[in-house]
Each structure stands twice: as structure tokens, then as C-alpha cells.
Chains A and B, each alone.
Chain A
Amino acid sequence: MKLGDGIFAREVVPWLAVVFWIAVVLFVLVELVSSDFGAAVQGFIQGAFGGRRLAYLMTTLSRAALITGMALSVMLSFRAGLFNIGGEGQLVAGGLVAALVAVLVPGPPLLILALSILAAMAAGAAWALLAGALQLYVGVPLLVGSLLLNYPIRYIASYLVAHPYRDVASGMVQSHLVPQATWLPYFPGTRLDIGILFIVVAAIFAVAYSHTTVHGYQSRMNGLSPDFARTVGLPVNRLALQTLAMSGAIAGLVGAIAVFGIHHRYIDGMLVQPLYAWTGIIAVLLVGMIPWLVPISGFFFAAIQTGAAGMERTAGVPKEIALVVQAVIILLVASRVSGALLSSSDRKAGGGGDA
């Protein structure tokens, strides 16, 4: 058991320290706004994992699905060395197209649902490819191009649901509802839609793709060293475009799930305001782009967000303080996780260099 003790000291103790510090900061913050510390913690845990018939846990899971989906999308790009931070635009493109196809195209519900999802994935892929084409053929760096492309699609979507396809009667800036028969059903006895299953499939795909396929391997070589990939004759441009298309398609899928599972229409800002895409990027960076850790990371971020909301609701901790708590937790956990990942990669590379 000597080995076990070593692992305990190395891996578990630092985590206990992180938990301790989170508790300290939380305590101080909650005392500052003179709320009950115990109630705040309970509100946090209830808000993230509790609720009547686990309703809040379902909310957390539903949010986790979207964040994880976006995280998987950027993970594929990042691992291939493509700094595609246009997930938001690809997400919006997917959500918008999904809603419009379902509203405008008549047909049997299941077929329309399938068609809408495919159209959403195609739209997300197309938006990502546009950023890729700008880099390869016009010379706009992907980091810039993909970021800037977030804005036109956002306002195109705003325009379309504010004018031509607006549900005027509702008085809101939103599209008409998609046919009710196309709504994703809930799991029996819960308020959780089955959209999360799509994300599970996407996650399995992403993990399998990253570890077992030739394409994933070659993309990663390109990500680790573009000069190397070019020198050994990998088709770097093709790899980049295909990877971007995959990324965009997953983002588009997430947009479609948000439409058919949660909002049942496209509401202006519904995909932008919750910062799904950006939270997804942080979730991926937190775990150093290791595929199987991404869903866990996505769940963690969702839990922090819903937990903070719960703390506000039940313990009377103001929203702003809840947001600070959220930031502090992310910061402490992120520093611990990245520290652990960095030191483990150092260990593997131990004694390295040209000695």
C-alpha cells in the first residue's frame, strides 16, 4: 500500500486544499453579505444537484449537455492546432437554421426533426469552413476570422427573427414555435429532454475520433507541430478544413438541441447570452484538451452555474456575489487542474532534452 499512500499524498491532498480554499473564500464572501454560510452552501448544492424530483439536477444536466457539446466542438479544433473560437457563431447558425427549417418546411415530424438537425449541422459546418477558407485563401488568421464571424451571424439571426420570421403575436423577438410533434421528448418522469443523448453520442464520437482514427491522429500531429506535418507530407489544408467542418457540425447540433429540446423556437440571444460557447472553451482548456475529461468538465461548469443560481434563490446571496463565487471556484479548480496536467506531462518528459 506504499504506492497508494504516495498517490494519496500527491493527488488527493492538493484537491483537499482546493476545497478548503473554496470554502474559505465562500465563507468570507457570504459573511460579507451577512448571509448564513450553511444555508448558502446548502443552497448551492441543492441548486446544482437537488430540487423536487431532482429538477435542479436535470437543469444542470441539460445545461451540461450544451456546454459539453460546445466543448467537444472546440476540442476537435484545438487538438488539431486550429484556434477556432467561432463556436458561438457556428452554434447560432445551427440553432437558427434548425428553427427556420422546422417552422418553414412541412412534412412528417420525425423527418422534419431529422432534416432540421442535419441542416443545423451543415450550417454550423459551413460557418466554420468560412473561417477556415478565410485563413487558407485570404490569409485572415483563424483566431481573428472565426471570432469576427460570430458577429454577422448573430445579427443575421436577430434580423431574421425580428423581421421576416418573427412571431409577431408573441410580442417578443423570436421565431414561431417549431411544430410540437418535433419537440424532443422528456425522459419519463423528468423535465430533462433527450437532447443529452445526442451529446453523449457526440462525446463518444469525439473520444473515438481523437484516439482511434487516422484522421484524428494526423490532425493531432498537425496540431502539435505544423512544420512537422507539412514535412512528412500530411495534407494539412484538407485536414484543417475537415476538422473545422466537424467542429462546426457539432456546434450546429448543439444549436438544434437547444431549439428542439429547450426553447422550441429561436429566441434572439438565446444561444449567445448564456455564453455556452465561451464556457465550452474554458471547459476544454481546463482539462488540457484530454477528450474523456471534457464531459466531466462540462458538467462541472454547468453545476457551478446552476448552483450559484440556487444559492441566490434560497440563501439570499445576491447574484453578483454568486457570480464571484462561481469565478473563484473556477479559478481555484482551474489552477489545480492545469497545474496537475502540466506536472504530469513534465513527469512523462522527465530527464528530457538533449542532455
Chain B
Amino acid sequence: MHAALHDIRVTFGSLTAVDGVSIDIEAGGIHAIVGENGAGKSTLMNVLFGLVKPDAGRIEIDGEPRGWASPQEAIASGLGMVHQHFMLQDEMTVLENIVLCAEPISRFGFVDFSGARRKLAQGFSEHGIAIDLDAIVGQLAVGQRQVVEILKMLYRDARLLILDEPTAVLTPQEKDRLFAILRSFAAAGKSVVIITHKLDEVMEIADHVSVMRGGRLISSGLLGGTSKERIAREIIGGDLPPPLKPQPREPGAVVLSVANLTIASRAGHVGPLSFEVRAGEIVGIAGVSGNGQAELVQALTGLRKPAGGTILLAGRDVAALDVAGRRPARMSYIPEDRPRMGLALGATVAENANAGREDRAGFAAGPFLRRRAMADFARDLIRRYNIRVGGPAARASTMSGGNKQKLVVGRELTRATPLIVAENPTWGVDIGAIDFIHGELMRMRDAGHAVLLVSTELDEVMALSDRILVMFEGTIAGEVSGGEATRERLGSLMTSRTGARAA
């Protein structure tokens, strides 16, 4: 499918999100659209997909001018989109999610699930996908949910696929698998558009690349006609700061000590896990998502009761405490699931910024709120963490992904707790914000805080960690010091039990 967007213009109130952009998406190719958050990439693709009505401009599909009244029409015409935040029904099974709104109807008016299974099995074997069709989506790891989203499009025979930040939650292996699928789509004549921040991936997979900044198209053309450095400059409109280099530093006292921790989980038993995190070091936990990291984080933060073992936080066993018992001044947590756990999107920035503070006097006088103090605190965070938002009274939902995350990071890090648990802290965040968040984590480390960085981004773990623990099937498969870590070494630990459990 060949799609062309001509002079598309989208405004939200006084904000011009997309400003006269024309783009060609070729059949049988992979087209990367890159740019910072708020550059208008997602909005542009939402226009193509019928989610956003452009104020001006037109869409052509295979040379025919088209317009959609709704995404349903776009889907019926062979378009498919995987959004950054998945559009799945958590309570339903994988299969039910896949066929939802495109149910195969049997002769007697029932949903023909076995027919759907057959059709999917074919796609599975073609593309080497493995997923339990009867699993409840809400219990799947984020990486697996994405597979469900892609299967939805496969199932609907989409001829033009749009993926918004598809690799943000994937491990290298999962990413390779995804790219293989996308390449086979392209080879079959389908068009693929990926919206991404990651230049390495653009260089790896794209045939065409378009760069957007501030709602405008900066460049668009064949990948061969540009370079990584040039794309980076076009994205940020200047030169990137040099990458961070952690200064070697003697770690201090043990802040977090986990011993024989076991966690019961529906996906399988996790543990026993034993490790320590010391003051002034970043310990990275790498691994393919769904290998027990989520359970570990929940057990550490008090969101889930461990089945056994001890969690010593500054010498005190906190395994039996709930979140409210653990957080006060000793632990902060940057959750992976920003829209659900990190923020209350319907509340204001000030309300989000002040949630979970233990210095009650800072926002309350007796039973009453000090609204002004709350707003001042939020303004302070906005300034210090360079959050782009209307102000303390703006709703959290009005911020872009990167700014939302900066608010979460700001709220948690200003509490200056001895232990910081960061779970995929740069999930779906733009380059500028990633650098900023990494810098803040490093600053906390250098200031003597213990940081546990749980991330499925190998580059992130390798760039920041003093030590790296690799999780595989619920246990720690091995430990590598930050300096000696290579992608190959970590990659092999991520897929086999070569280390800890060998004995």
C-alpha cells in the first residue's frame, strides 16, 4: 500500500501540532519517523489512521484521495496501528483481544474461535511467534502485550502498519524478532511505518527516514542519503551532549540486602534471589521482560507480598510492610507503568507532584491542604526538572510522555531516599529526556544513594550500572561488572542459566 499525506496541518487550540507536513510512504518499505516527543510524529500518524482530523491537508492511498471518519474505516481499508500505550482489554484472553471487533462468525452466529486459532497458527509459524492464546492479557509482561497488538494487525490482514515506539519495551532478542517480522511484512509488499526515538534502530531497519521537529518536517528521504549524526542533529536542532561516563567510585554501606527472596506469581515461581545494593552504586537488573523483574520490583516496593526470604532496607527487615510502611524516607520508586502507576492522569500536576510525600508539613496544615505550597512545590519541580507543561494547575494528561516521566522522576528523586528503585525509567521517552533522567540517576548515585535500575534496555543498563545482574526465568543468571559488560555476554546470560544456578 502506498500512502501519501499532503500539507497536513493539525492544531489543538493555540498549539500547532503538525504544520504543513507532506510525506510519502512507499509500498514494501519500512519508513521511520523520528523526532522528540511533541514533535508531532504521533499526531501525524493519528491523522493517517483516522484518529485525529486534520485542519487542512489530504490523504491519498494508492493514488486515491481518501479520508476516514473513524479509525474503524481506516482499519477496514487495510491500515493498522500499534499505539505506544497498548489498546488491550486486560481482563480478556489473548485470543479474545485479537479477534475483538473483527470476530469470525460461524454459521450459527457464534464467534468461531477455532477458525481464528487456525488462522493465527499460520501466522505464528510464518513469523516464529510464540504466545499462549488463552493467557489473560492483564497478566502478560509488557513485551508480550506488544506481540498481542501486532497479532491483532496480522489477524486483520493490515497492508499498512504503523507502530508507535514499538521497541520501547522490548529486549534485544524480542526486538530482533519484531524486526524480522517487520522485514517479512515489507518483503510481502506491506508498508511499515515506525515512530521511534532510537537512531540505532532507524539505521538498522529503515529504508526511508523522516525527521520531525516542532510540528514541521525537517527532512525526508532514503536512509542511504543521510547519516546517524545528521539525523540526530536534525532531531534536536543542534548537537547532542557527549554521553555520560560513570566515574569509578567506592560504594558505601549496604542499603538494600535481599536474601533468599521468593515470590509466588501466576507466571511461575520467582526466586530465590539474593543480592545487595550499596550506597553510591547503581546496580542494573537486565533481562528479557517477563523473567521475574516485575515480581521482584513489586516485592521490593511492597506492592506484592513475598512468599519467603528477607528484604533488609538500611538494616531493617521490611518484607512484611506494605508500600506505605516502606516508602517513608527510605525508598522511592519510579514505576514502569507511567500512565497507571506513576501518575493520576486526571489530576493536576500539583496534585501528582505532592502525592506520596511524607513531609506532611510541606503540603498540609492539620487536616487541610496548603494549595499554594503544593503549587509552589510543583513549580519548583517543573523548573528543576525542566518539565514542559502549562503549570501546576494543568492536568497531568496534557503533558507529553517525556514530561510525564520527568514529573515522576522529579517527584521521586526529590525525596532523596537512601534507595531508589527505577523500573524502565526511560520507557517511551525522547532523547533529551532520556539523557536528563540518566543524568539525574547518576547524580543520585554520586550523592551516595543506592540505585536499583531494572531495565530491559541493555544500552541503558550498560551505560549506567556499576554492576549488572541478569535475570532469567525468575532467578539471577549471573553478575557482570559494569566495565566488563558486553552485549554478547549479557545476551547469553539473558537466555540461559549459565551462572548462579549452575551449581
State the A residues within 8 Å of B (CB). 212-215, 217-218, 220-221, 224-225, 227-235, 347-355
29 CB < 8 A contacts A-B: A214-B360, A214-B363, A214-B367, A217-B351, A221-B351, A224-B345, A228-B340, A228-B343, A228-B344, A229-B344, A230-B303, A230-B323, A231-B303, A231-B323, A233-B323, A233-B324, A233-B328, A234-B324, A348-B394, A348-B398, A349-B397, A351-B17, A352-B395, A354-B37, A355-B17, A355-B37, A355-B38, A355-B42, A355-B400
Say if the beta carbon of B368 comes within 8 Å of chain A.
yes
Which residues of A have CB within 8 Å of B395?
348-349, 352
A-contacting residues, B27-49, CB 8 Å: 37-43
Q: Are A224 and B347 within 8 A (Cβ)?
A: yes
**Within the complex, what minimum Cβ distance (angstroms) separates A354 from chain B?**
4
Which residues of A have CB within 8 Å of B12?
350-352
Say if the beta carbon of B502 comes within 8 Å of chain A.
no
How many Cβ-Cβ contacts under 8 Å join chain A to chain B?
Answer: 110
Which residues of B have CB within 8 Å of A232?
323, 327, 355-356
The CA-CA distance from A46 to B394 in the complex, in Å, is: 45
The CA-CA distance from A234 to B360 in the complex, in Å, is: 13
A-contacting residues, B262-303, CB 8 Å: 301-303
Q: Are A225 and B398 within 8 A (Cβ)?
A: no
Give a binary string over B356-398; 1 marks a CB under 8 Å from any A CB, 0 the rest. 1000100110011101000000000000000000000011011
Q: Are B42 and A353 within 8 A (Cβ)?
A: yes
A215 and B367 contact, Cβ closer than 8 Å, known pairs A221-B355, A349-B397: yes
Say if the beta carbon of B326 comes within 8 Å of chain A.
yes
Which of B351, B368, B398: most chain A CB closer than 10 A? Answer: B368
The CA-CA distance from A232 to B38 in the complex, in Å, is: 27
The CA-CA distance from A228 to B326 in the complex, in Å, is: 16
The CA-CA distance from A229 to B327 in the complex, in Å, is: 13
Which residues of B have CB within 8 Å of A229?
344, 355
Which residues of B have CB within 8 Å of A230?
303, 323, 341
Say if the beta carbon of B55 comes within 8 Å of chain A.
no
A227 and B368 contact, Cβ closer than 8 Å, known pairs A233-B323, A234-B355, A355-B42: no
The CA-CA distance from A347 to B341 in the complex, in Å, is: 24
Q: Are A233 and B356 within 8 A (Cβ)?
A: yes
Given pairs A231-B342, A234-B356, 14 additional interface contacts (CB within 8 A): A214-B369, A217-B369, A224-B344, A225-B340, A228-B355, A230-B341, A232-B327, A233-B324, A233-B328, A348-B395, A353-B397, A354-B84, A355-B38, A355-B41
Q: Are A225 and B343 within 8 A (Cβ)?
A: yes
The closest CB in chain A to the CB of B430 belongs to A354
The CA-CA distance from A221 to B346 in the complex, in Å, is: 9
Q: Are A225 and B13 within 8 A (Cβ)?
A: no
**Within the complex, what minimum Cβ distance (angstroms) separates A34 from chain B?**
44
**Within the complex, what minimum Cβ distance (angstroms) separates B330 from chain A?**
11
Q: Are A354 and B356 within 8 A (Cβ)?
A: no
Which residues of B have CB within 8 Å of A235?
324
The CA-CA distance from A227 to B343 in the complex, in Å, is: 9
**Within the complex, what minimum Cβ distance (angstroms) separates A236 from chain B?**
8
**Within the complex, what minimum Cβ distance (angstroms) separates B343 from chain A?**
6
Say if the beta carbon of B101 comes within 8 Å of chain A.
no
A354 and B324 contact, Cβ closer than 8 Å, known pairs A212-B368, A213-B368: no
The closest CB in chain B to the CB of A222 belongs to B344
Say if the beta carbon of B503 comes within 8 Å of chain A.
no
The closest CB in chain B to the CB of A237 belongs to B322
Q: Are A354 and B333 within 8 A (Cβ)?
A: no
Give a binary string over B443-457; 1 marks a CB under 8 Å from any A CB, 0 the rest. 000000000000000
The closest CB in chain B to the CB of A216 belongs to B369
The CA-CA distance from A224 to B404 in the complex, in Å, is: 16
The CA-CA distance from A189 to B476 in the complex, in Å, is: 81
Q: Are A352 and B369 within 8 A (Cβ)?
A: no
The CA-CA distance from A8 to B239 in the complex, in Å, is: 50
Say if the beta carbon of B418 comes within 8 Å of chain A.
no
The CA-CA distance from A229 to B355 in the complex, in Å, is: 8
The CA-CA distance from A233 to B356 in the complex, in Å, is: 6
